[in-house]
Amino acid sequence: MDSKVDALGVADTTELKSCCATVYQSEWARVILGDSFHPGGLALTEHLGATIGLAPGQRLLDVASGQGASAIRLAERFGCTIVGVDYGDESVRNATAAATAAGVGQLVTFQQGDAERLPVADGSFDAVICECAFCTFPDKPTAASEFMRVLKPGGRVGLSDLTRSGAIPTDLQGLLAWIACIADAQPLDEYARYLREAGLTVNLVEAHDDALAAMVREIQGKLLGAEIMVKLKKIDLPPTVDFDQAKRMARAAAEAVQAKHFGYAVLTATKP
């Protein structure tokens, strides 16, 4: 096994992916993050969709689709057909219900699957997006090759993810930090390299660091709010939620973002 994964105290990469999916489909994630689990929220998702030229009639694959908020918004805005794939089966159920409630159930469907072995046919999509999740995939070269495999020739990839410069601070290592997209965040050039080595042509790289700074501030505020609500017994969170650990990590993340050790970026690429 990858020695970085080995150091996280999980048995293997399957357990790592399950832990990640379990956290993001929990009530706790919704309380702290809302429905859209990435910096920049749905405004950045719409920007990503416009940048890769989504249009009615096209087929889009959303890899690691979470609660489905991005897929639903992109269907509403661009009228394309969207398949969302996520490791968490409860996320898939929640996203399916949300698409029906939003009235886009005929355009948007979700299924359980692994980004490293996408459950869809070769050459079957016009575009692939992956927001704030590529950094959590243990086998990034395989995930990038999967994007390439499922695209039609001329198909586009829109990736948005956490970037780092320099080493990861000690406070931001470990399983929770990995799941929070921090511990295996890559330098911007590395994301471009994964895409290029999969055979894709990288077209555009954009920094959106302010979106990350705003999200970390928002999380810090929501953590304080959630702690008060739990103490007042207004919301119920699992006893496993450790507010002190989460607040320590959020503080360390805020400092690292301020020091420009972490940022957020959008990359787009094309299948030749």
By 3-state DSSP, what share of the chain in percent is helix, strand and coil, each rounded to 5?
45, 20, 30
DSSP 202: E
> By CB under 6 A, is residue 120 in contact with ligand SAM?
no
Which of 26, 58, 70, 186 touches ligand SAM (CB under 6 A)?
70
Residues whose CB falls within 8 Å of the CB of residue 12, separated by 6 or more in sequence, listed in order:
1, 5
Instruction: Give 74-118 as a 3 state SS string.
Output: HHHHHCCEEEEEECCHHHHHHHHHHHHHCCCCCCEEEEECECCEC
> By CB under 6 A, is residue 147 in contact with ligand SAM?
no
Q: In whole angstroms, what is the distance from residue 167 CA to residue 103 CA?
A: 45
- Select 9 or 228, whichever has its Cβ closest to ligand SAM: 9
- Select 126 or 146, whichever has its Cβ closest to ligand SAM: 146
> By CB under 6 A, is residue 115 in contact with ligand SAM?
yes
Which of 39, 66, 155, 174 touches ligand SAM (CB under 6 A)?
66
- Are 244 and 32 in contact by the 8 Å Cβ rule? The answer is no
Give me the residues paired with residue 128 across strands: 61, 157
Q: In whole angstroms, what is the distance from residue 67 CA to residue 255 CA?
A: 29
- Are 220 and 214 in contact by the 8 Å Cβ rule? The answer is no
- Select 86 or 126, whichever has its Cβ closest to ligand SAM: 86
Number of residues that bind ligand SAM (CB under 6 A): 26
> By CB under 6 A, is residue 36 in contact with ligand SAM?
yes
Q: Which pair of tokens denotes residue 89?
A: 């089966």
Which of 5, 8, 10, 20 touches ligand SAM (CB under 6 A)?
20
Q: Report the nearest approach of ligand SAM to the CB of residue 54 (Å).
A: 16
> By CB under 6 A, is residue 262 in contact with ligand SAM?
no
> By CB under 6 A, is residue 46 in contact with ligand SAM?
no
Stretch that binds ligand SAM, among 83-91, 99-107, 182-190, 256-264 (CB under 6 A): 83-91
> By CB under 6 A, is residue 270 in contact with ligand SAM?
no
The mark string for 222-241 relative to ligand SAM (x by CB under 6 A, - otherwise) is: --------------------
- Are 37 and 161 in contact by the 8 Å Cβ rule? The answer is no
> By CB under 6 A, is residue 94 in contact with ligand SAM?
no
Q: Report the nearest approach of ligand SAM to the CB of residue 116 (Å).
A: 6
Place of tokens 């039609």: 152
> By CB under 6 A, is residue 161 in contact with ligand SAM?
no
Three-state DSSP at 51 gives helix
**Residues of this chain that bind ligand SAM (CB under 6 A):** 17, 20-21, 24, 36-38, 64-66, 69-70, 85-88, 91, 114-116, 131-133, 136-137, 181
